[in-house]
Structure 1
Amino acid sequence: MGTTFHGPSPWPHITRAIRTRGPRHAAIAHLGEDAPTLLPLRAGDVLVVNASRAAVRAHATSPVALAHYVDAGVRVLSSPNLHANVIATDRRAVIGSVNASYSSTIADEAVVITDDPDIVAAVRKFIDGIDEITDVDQVFLDNATAIWQIGRAVPLPGIGGRNRAEPDFLPTPVTRMFLWHITDYQPGAAEEHERAAHTSRRRTSAGPAAKYQLEWFRIDTPGGRGRLQRGDVLLQVTADNQWLYSPAVVDSDPIAIPHTRRAVAYQLRTRVGLEPIAVTDAEVGLADVGHPNPRLRTDHRIVSASLRAALLRLWNL
């Protein structure tokens, strides 16, 4: 393997690199709730984190993630001075800037992954030598949960994800994303009335209205009603699987389409100026960042947080 550099989206490479036999030792300063997906550790592994009162109260380290690792048999330790992010397996070392959190998947991060035995040994020695540590047990978790509940998300020095230029366009974070093929649909009078009412009562701080437009999306499949929710992000693909359109945000509740049994329509808010991307180009780009099978030709919900982030990055969102 040698030594390789990965950025600005290194998490797929990290996750793949640490899927090895033997114990893994990690020192990751801060954990989001989705950390176990990015950093899949198991019984016998060691994880050092900064789960200090300040980090938990600022929602930089999640008690939910801590509890997941403890329940999995990982030895979890807290060090209030930890700011490093390194991992050592039996054969590889990861050294870089990444916390195990959603914000890290959308920020410009970088890591070096190496199988140099001297560096692997040095990283392991560094992790094992971290002092001022406390075992994370059930008492620690109960206390951390109480601190989290009275705290709030605030910036900490050296922590933070990308600041979006248009904060009101996409939800933060994007937790629900779907891919569907485009349907040819012309709204009737009832749907247009709903659109007019919705537009007249909605105000937005996202900038001039010319930056956005509303479109209609129809679902005919059984169970379509309620399948999407306000704030969901939708990617649409042309029927011939040639073009992938930029993300749209569901901007309405489901609207029943008259004279149909189950079909519903939704209003979508789209950003003007984001061009469609060829599906083949998107597949190549996603494979390059660790997603060789993104299923861009099949309607489905995108459950992988790292894949959602990689798809948004196709349009620099």
Structure 2
Amino acid sequence: MGTTFHGPSPWPHITRAIRTRGARYAAIGYLGQDAPALLPLRAGDLLVVNASKAAIRAHATSPAALAYYLNKGVRVLSSPTLHAKVIVTNTRAVIGSANASENSTLADDAVVITDDPDIIASVRKFIDSLDEITEVDQVFLDDAILEWEIGRAVPLPGVTGRVRIETDFLPTPVTRMFVKHAVDYEPTRTEQQVLDELRGRHHSRGGPAAKYQLESLRLDRPSGVKRGDVIVFVSADDEWIYAPAVVVSDPMKIPRSGGAVLYFLRLRTGLSPLPLPGAEKALTDLGHPGSRLRTDHYVRSPGLRSALLGLWDL
């Protein structure tokens, strides 16, 4: 096999590489709820993870994933300082940046997989030398579940909030679309910091122009909106219609807001808003006289969804 590099989507390679006989040893910083599908461990394996209170409260490490591995007979340990992502078997070592989570499958992660005996031995030694270790048992798990319920999902770039929509920009096909009126909303300081980091607003000068940008959507209460939905916004005064945005996060509860939730949206730069009357006429000419762009609604018609995207040649 030798040594191979895999990125920006390394998890299929990781999963295949560790399907070997003998015990597996993994030190993975954070586990999402879908970790078991990515990291198939079994009885006799060892897993070290950052299951600190901070990680659990931020929903970076899932108690459900911890419980799954415990039930499988995996020995699970928690190290509050762990940030590494390494796995070792009897014949291979995996070294890289990938957490075991859905967000890692969407982010641009990378790993090196090798059968070099010296590196295999070094990775095993690294895992064995980790300190500040706590055994994850049922008591630990019960506490973790309480911490999870107390906390809330906090988008952490590279951990729980770095997302990338496949197929360039829009889902393929677009099966769920909403028309909503834009409402002015001033993000909190925390929300603005997250937006700034995800947007890469503080990048250095030079380099390619940004193709996408992130914005936030605040709703006063949970709704039917979910990750992957497409939203077309109309200005509050019904003068403009804005290019489609894609929902790229699950709803996040906003503390002390009376039940309001926050979503992150991905927009493609360079798509200008259009005058609403002109858009309505264009849709009527295409056979959609009842486009209802002045009313918030779920767009059920596949033809109307396609026609709306076509306003921006999407």
TM over 0.5: same fold? yes
Matched to 2:93, the amino acid is A
Per the alignment, residue 57 of structure 2 pairs with 57
**How far apart are the structure 2 equivalents of 1:266 and 1:70?**
49
Deviations 1:168-187 (A, max 9, x none): x97xxx9xx9899xxxxxxx
CA shift for structure 1 position 210: 4.9
1:274-293 correspondence runs (5 A): none
8 Å CA contact 1:252–1:268 kept in 2: the answer is no
> How many pairs were matched up?
203
**How far apart are the structure 1 equivalents of 2:5 and 2:16?**
14
Per the alignment, residue 248 of structure 1 pairs with none
Per the alignment, residue 244 of structure 2 pairs with 212
8 Å CA contact 2:155–2:162 kept in 1: the answer is no
| 2:112 partner SS | strand
Deviations 1:231-257 (A, max 9, x none): xxxxxxxxxxxxxxxxxxxx83878xx
| 1:211 partner SS | coil
| 2:91 partner SS | coil
User: Residues 203, 15 of structure 1: CA spacing in aligned structure 2 closer, same or farther, 3 A cutoff?
Assistant: same
User: Residues 23, 212 of structure 1: CA spacing in aligned structure 2 closer, same or farther, 3 A cutoff?
Assistant: same
User: Residues 157, 79 of structure 1: CA spacing in aligned structure 2 closer, same or farther, 3 A cutoff?
Assistant: farther
User: Residues 95, 150 of structure 1: CA spacing in aligned structure 2 closer, same or farther, 3 A cutoff?
Assistant: same
Gaps of 5+ in 1: 181-194, 214-250, 256-264, 276-317
User: Residues 108, 158 of structure 1: CA spacing in aligned structure 2 closer, same or farther, 3 A cutoff?
Assistant: closer
Give me the TM-score of the superposition, normalised by structure 1.
0.57
CA shift for structure 1 position 154: 1.8
Structure 1: 4+ residue segments shifted above 4 A: 155-158, 177-180, 204-208, 265-275
Deviations 1:137-187 (A, max 9, x none): 11000000000001011245763443569xxx97xxx9xx9899xxxxxxx
**How far apart are the structure 2 equivalents of 1:142 and 1:274?**
52
**How far apart are the structure 2 equivalents of 1:274 and 1:113?**
42
**How far apart are the structure 2 equivalents of 1:267 and 1:39?**
41
8 Å CA contact 1:212–1:271 kept in 2: the answer is yes
Per the alignment, residue 20 of structure 2 pairs with 20
1:61-76 correspondence runs (5 A): 61-76=61-76
Deviations 1:90-110 (A, max 9, x none): 100000001001111111111
Per the alignment, residue 207 of structure 2 pairs with none
Asked if 1:85 corresponds to 2:85, the answer is yes
Matched to 1:115, the amino acid is D
**How far apart are the structure 2 equivalents of 1:21 and 1:267?**
53
8 Å CA contact 2:154–2:161 kept in 1: the answer is no
Gaps of 5+ in 2: 183-216, 218-230, 234-239, 246-296
8 Å CA contact 2:155–2:161 kept in 1: the answer is no
Deviations 1:53-79 (A, max 9, x none): 110011110000000000000000000
Give me the TM-score of the superposition, normalised by structure 2.
0.57
Per the alignment, residue 296 of structure 1 pairs with none
User: Residues 107, 271 of structure 1: CA spacing in aligned structure 2 closer, same or farther, 3 A cutoff?
Assistant: farther
State percent identity of aligned pairs. 64
